[in-house]
Every structure is written in C-alpha cells, then in structure tokens.
Amino acid sequence: MTPERDPDPSADARPTPRPALLRQPDFLKLWTAETVSQLGTQVTGLAIPFVAIELLNASTFEVGLLNVVDFLPFLLIGLVAGVWVDRLRRRPILIVGDLGRALLLATIPLAYALNALTILQLYCVGFLVGSLTVFFDVAYQSYLPSLVGREHLVDGNGKLEISRSAAAVLGPGFAGLLIGIVKAPFAILVDAASYLGSAFFVFLIRRPEPVPERHDEGAKGPPPGMRAEIGEGLRYVVGHRFLRSIAACTASANFLGNMAYAVLMVFALRDMDMGIEAVGLAFSIGAIGALAGALLAARIAVRLGVGRTIVIAAALGDPPLVLFALVPATAPIALKVGLLALFGVSSGFGVVVYNVNQVSLRQAITPTRLQGRMNASMRWFVWGTIPIGALLGGTLGTLIGTRATLLIAAIGGSLTFLLVLLSPVRAIREMPPAAAYAPSAEDCLPT
C-alpha cells in the first residue's frame, strides 16, 4: 500500500491555532446535541428490552435478537455508508439521521396505544434505527476533525465521552423511575424527543463544510466507483499496523461483550430476581466509572503514553462480570446490585479511556478524504461482530442457560486486551501531531 497524503492544501502548512473548545460555539452546539441525545438513548436502552420481556413475554432468544437487529446494519451497509459519508457533506447526514430515528421510535408508543405492538415491530424499528445510526455514527466521527481541528481531537472526544458517561450515570436510574411511573412504551418518547433536540442543535452549526474530495492528490480521470472506494478503505485499515490491531481487539471485545449483554438483562431480571429499579440503580452507579474515564482519559495518556493507556484500558472490562455471573440467586439484593455496579464501574472506565484514545489515534493518522471509509471500515469490523455475538449469546442462553453463557463471555472478554498488548500499539508514546497523520510505508502492508 502506498502512503496516503492528505489532499487538503493546508495539511502541510503550519495549522492556524484554534481557540480552546469551550470557546468554539460550533463545537458547543455539537456537544449539546450529543448530550441531549445520549440521555434519551439511555431511556430506550432500558425500555425496549423491558417492553419485550415484561409486556410481550419474549423468550431469551427473542430478547437476544433485539441486539442482533440493532447492529446488523453495521454489517450489511456499513461499508457503503462510509463511501457516501466521504462523498457528501457530513452535517446534513447527522440531521437526517436524528430526524429519522425520532420518527421511527415514536411508532412504538403509538402502536402500544392502539394495542398493536408486537415483537416484530420492535425488530423492524431496531433495524431501521440501526441503519440510520450507521450513517450518523460514521458521519459523526468523520465530522469532528474538520470541526475542532486535529490538535483538539483528544480533548473533543473526551468532552463528548463526558456527555455519554454522564448520561449513563443519570440515564438508567432516570429510566427505571420513568418506566415505573409511565408504561415503558411511552418512556421511549423521551428518546424520540431527544433526537429532535439533537437535530436542532446540529442545524445551528455554522462552520462551513467544504465538498469532500474524491481524488487523491495529483490523481486524474473520473472518480473511482463504489467498489473501488470500499476496497481502498478496507485496505487502509487492514494494512495499517496500528489500525488492524485496534480493530482485532475491539471486534473481539464487542463479540464477547454482546454475548454477555444478550442474556444480562434476562439473567438479572428473571434468574437473579433483581427487579427493574435495582438493575437501573446498578447501571447508574456503575456508569460513574465511565464518567471518571472521560474526565481522566487524556491525563492518563499523557502520564502513561497512548499505547500503554490503550492496553491497560482494554484489560479492565470484563473481570468483574465473572464475579456477578458466579453469585447465587439467593444472595442479598445489595450484593447483587453491588457486583453489577462494580462491573459497570470497571468496564465503563476501561471502555471510555480505551475509546477516547484509540478513536483519537485513528482520526489523527487518517487523511481527510479517507475519514468516512476508515471509520466505516473500522465499524464494519468491530461492530459487525455485535449481531453475531448477540445471536450466539441468545442461542447459548436458551441451550445452556443464561448463567453459563454469561460466564463464558466474561472469561473470554477478559483476555481480549492481549491483541493490543502483543502489537505495535503498545509502543506509541504520544498522539501523532497534526502534520504527521499520513502513515509511513512501514506502517502499511503492500497491496
């Protein structure tokens, strides 16, 4: 693979310093949009499984399929989405994605009010919302570097993770109370409204966004076709020694993590008899770890180095889940809540620190014209394993029980950090500067 060069004429020039992110109005609008949306998403994340389990009496396998249909679009259309994100301006994609998801989620309480809600509708809504999320997330990660500048990537990703983590702290407890006050289908309206709010704030962003370049620097002739552009993005990720190691680690963690999540709610609510309020409380306490990770991710990377931070963070996720899977159903409710919360603290801290640093690294080393396809290719690899893991988790939960499935997934997830520990990623000391984001020849495999 030949080294990529950024076609942006300003790439080789000394970048003009931008003000701190808290003084950039457009970033604050994006940050506000993300904050509003994330709080609503926490409600839906608890409400939809609750609807399936308690109102529709879904089986363990049927509940597991909810995760499958949510993430199946990343496997089916993720690479195509990356091409279109690189061809189009990204802000309109974000707005359309928000509006579409709001409309789709609003159909659930409407169907419930008409006594017509079925598990099939939950699957259809999940798949369509997931399809819009594919385009939104790829565009979102590709839009951030042009909005804040590469020199602010870690800071920007960290602040966005603060919002996600704060929502994770407040959201489950709020969702549990809301579901207890109003029926779960109507609680989903909160998420629909949050997407409308997100679309409004993204619409207010005024920073000009140029039409993306489809040619590499110096290239002539017609732009490449869809297949060629998809192939270029895949080769870039697979060929880059840092990106392929991160992809392998994240894909494995997502596969095993979603084996666990496919049965976790059923295990907690049915096998452990915890109740929705106790589960929501445990998730809220556990999410404090994610908030701490968002606040400390950049500082930890400065102290330990980017590579070591990624490795250590990847190792923190699943070990406490092994303890929760082993606790007997007759244990005191305080112990069950405490162990589930401990898992949330450990995994939340590790996942957020890992993501802030590995996403920032990916964005920093990728040319502007490849941002969409790099992000889509990474998502295809790392999120494509999610429906497979969820399907396997639901199947194993039915065949061997939720406890055994949870234990297998937790033990396997505890070992995924080895994929970055035994790779060149561990040796990265500092985030590459803005002028050095094109990979050298040694960073890439030959094509």
Closest C-alpha to 23, from 166, 199, 201, 152: 152
pTM of the entire predicted model: 0.70
Task: Indicate the domain borders of the chain.
Answer: 23-206+227-438
Low-confidence ranges of the chain (pLDDT < 50): 1-17, 434-447
Q: Give residue-wise pLDDT tens across range 189-241.
A: 888 888 899 899 999 988 877 766 655 555 555 666 778 888 888 888 888 88
Neighbours of 17 (CB within 10 A): 8
Is 417 in a helix, a strand, or coil? coil
In this prediction, residue 1 carries a pLDDT of: 38
In the Cβ-directed half-sphere of 310, how many Cα atoms lie within 13 Å?
A: 32
Q: Give residue-wise pLDDT tens across range 137-155.
A: 888 777 887 787 766 777 7
In this prediction, residue 407 carries a pLDDT of: 92
Between CA 49 and CA 266 the distance in angstroms is 9
CATH superfamily of 23-206+227-438: MFS general substrate transporter like domains (1.20.1250.20)
Judge whether 429 and 305 are in contact, CB under 8 Å: yes
